[in-house]
Structure 1
Amino acid sequence: MRPSFLTWLFSHVPWLAERWAAHYEGVKSADVPWTPLRKPLAQCRVALVTTAGVHLTDQPPFDMKDKQGDPSFRELPPTLEPGRWTITHDYYDHRDALADVNIVLPLDRLRELAAAGEIGEVAPRHFSFMGHIDGPHIPELTGRTAPQVAGLLQADRVDAAVLAPA
């Protein structure tokens, strides 16, 4: 079945989505490290990481032909200009997100928090993944691309990252 059909089906038949989710076996990890903030949030540089498949129109789209997903990522600037970004992700209905990217990548809210002094500053770049990753791509995501993004966040001196799932 095509992912877009499943998206439609699950959104119109919620009990079917619930039944599928009850039997889905995701990745399990017993070793999830807790890292407390080392300074007050009002002094932190904050980045966003989304799994919504957001990317700039001049970047390659995420691979929707691979049924196991696409473990790559896209770098995003701190501001998304209208018409310069899109979403490539067949596993959720993104009509609302296309109307307001803040639903899946709350850049405006992050800037408001910085202006209000709730966070120190907005990071110079953010990151987007296509959230449907399965099978053989999981080790690539956890062993290569996620650590690469973590390194880029460290290079940007980011103190905290907010995961905004689709």
Structure 2
Amino acid sequence: MRILISALLGAILMLGVSCEKSTTNPNEATDRKFVSMKLDNRIYLAEKPQATIYTPNLVDEDPNNDYLTMEILATTYSGDNISFKLATDQPTFVPGVYYTNTTGNSMTMYLLSQSGSTLVTDPTSSGFTITISRINSLYVEGTFSGTLNDATGGTGTRTVRDGSFRSLVRWVQK
């Protein structure tokens, strides 16, 4: 009887261990680095963007580099370039909304796939926002949306919807 109970408990233990969900990387969902968005009705996706945070240079006499700045660069599979620039006068970037009508904040998109059009945010309009939802010393994550203007002579505006990004961060001393 004791052997039968031991065998039964052993079998239950083995089944429990073998039925455990196994993944090669439990953090796979947060490990993916990307920039994705809809521009008008077309979806753009860029893998492995590069985010760089530049520390302020307070020892020179140039007041334009006295702010913490961040630049996120990404390239889509079709060669289109996406660039975000953010600036803050705080000691670090914090989660929140960054408007492109604030000095140092912008988005630029170079559309190689569409005859080399360049789209930019309007620095006088609050019609484009970049929201940081999570940031730490290793990565930044957020969303963005709004309107971009054609800087290459085109007319009208283009609408960006459902934009999101997640990138590793590297820090650079100015």
Q: TM-score range by the shorter chain?
A: under 0.3
Q: Which has the higher contact order (CA 8 A, sep 6+)?
A: 1
TM-score (norm 1): 0.27
- Structure with the bigger percentage of helix: 1
TM-score (norm 2): 0.27
- Structure with the bigger percentage of strand: 2
